[in-house]
Amino acid sequence: MTPSPDQPLRILHAVRAPVGGIIRHILDVANGQASRGHVVGIVADSLTGGERADAAFAEIAPRMKLGVHRIAIRREPHVTDLFAWMQFAALIRNLKPDILHGHGAKAGAFVRLKGRSRSTLRVYTPHGGSLHYPLTTMKGAFYSRLERMLMNRTDLFLFESAFARDTYQRIVGTPAGLVKCVFNGVTADEFDPVTLADDATDVAYVGEFRHIKGADLLIDAVARLRAGGRPVTLTLGGDGEETAALKAQIERLDLGDAVRFIGHVKARYGFSKGRLLVVPSRGDSMPYVVIEAAAAGVPMVAANVGGIPEIFDSHADALFAPDHVGAMAEAIAAALDDPAAAAARAKSLRERIFQHFSQKAMVEGVMAGYREAFAKR
């Protein structure tokens, strides 16, 4: 049965790890859906996220009429997945959602293990995740087979970038279900300009400390610039599994006076701590940090990976070859040598974000996808 256009939907979002851009995306979409009168809930892992996730869920909980539910869900395949799935299935039976929207590989699998139903739509947004593993690796081969098995148990794919969609179809296959691209979006107040801090360094990084995010490459680029006679300084805003390794790298390269850690911070605060934001990712789909920085008019250079070129569009001169320390160092030097050009590019990019990457457009795109999938049924 297809809901009428004005009928409130019961929507349950599911995610494993409530951290980083993925939870930011879910909270923004869920808030937007609740504001439009829909009945929304969230299911997330209870083992990760820490106090930040607890605080974020506490803030949104009063608006989630289907509730906020935490289940222990491990990152890698594990024997406890059976018990987690049983808890998840019990929630589905009790909450009776019209939409089951899984975000990321693990939650996406849970959602699609549910059998086909005329009353419930199974929606999947990969968010990169398992798509970053090469097919030549054991993990890549395993995840691609799992995705292929679940592909046609999916009523609607909502990719956040054309890159993610094309990568999925190349690695996994072409789904029988509906496929849509909906860009991530930011809220109106994120277009306010960021005031540069008095103690700003030359360069800033804001994000998780994970191998795929490339903070170690940025540290190497700073070391290269300094070895070449440029006394570049760096602020690292973030935390994660590679924190100790990054600190050891800085000590090994004798960069203690040039690099500082400020811990996990709100993105805009992190942006204020550097004259130039650098996004050194080895791989990404549609990173929020790039959209947030562009919305705020922050001068930025970034790796030419994933969906980042879709954000920059005609401003590709600010993108450098990924996993290439020399190319990154050259891009940083060029931006620092011509701050006027970097500022002009940031202003133009801000206008593009305003037109194509708003939270309103994101939520409306997601809802349009739901309606179209129901109609196709």
Report which of 190, 165, 150, 174 is spatially closest to residue 28, judged by C-alpha positions: 190
CATH class as words, domain 189-356: alpha beta
Q: Which residue has the tokens 């398992």?
A: 130
Q: Are 194 and 225 in contact (CB under 8 A)?
A: no
Pick the CATH number of 10-185+358-376 from 3.40.50.2300, 3.40.190.10, 3.40.50.620, 3.40.50.2000: 3.40.50.2000
Give me the pLDDT at residue 6, please.
Answer: 66
Q: Which amino acid is at 211?
A: H
Residue 5: is its pLDDT beyond 90? no
Instruction: Please tell me the distance from the alpha carbon of residue 93 to that of residue 313, in angstroms, as a whole number.
Output: 44
Which percentage of the chain shows pLDDT scores above 70? 96
Give 189-247 as a DSSP string.
GGGSPPPPPTT-EEEEEES---GGGTHHHHHHHHHHHHHTT----EEEE--STTHHHHH
pLDDT band of residue 298 (cuts 50, 70, 90) is very high
State whether the Cα torsion 237-241-244-246 is positive or negative. negative
Closest to 208 measured CA to CA, from 238, 185, 168, 165: 238
What's the pLDDT tens digit per position in 111-166?
A: 999 888 888 999 999 986 666 566 677 777 777 888 899 999 999 999 999 999 99
* 299: pLDDT strictly greater than 70: yes
196, amino acid identity: L
For the chain, the domains span: 10-185+358-376, 189-356
Interval 177-182 mean pLDDT: 95
**Same-fold call for 10-185+358-376 versus 189-356:** yes
Give the tens place of pLDDT for each residue, 244-266. 999 999 999 999 999 999 999 99
Say what the pTM is.
0.86
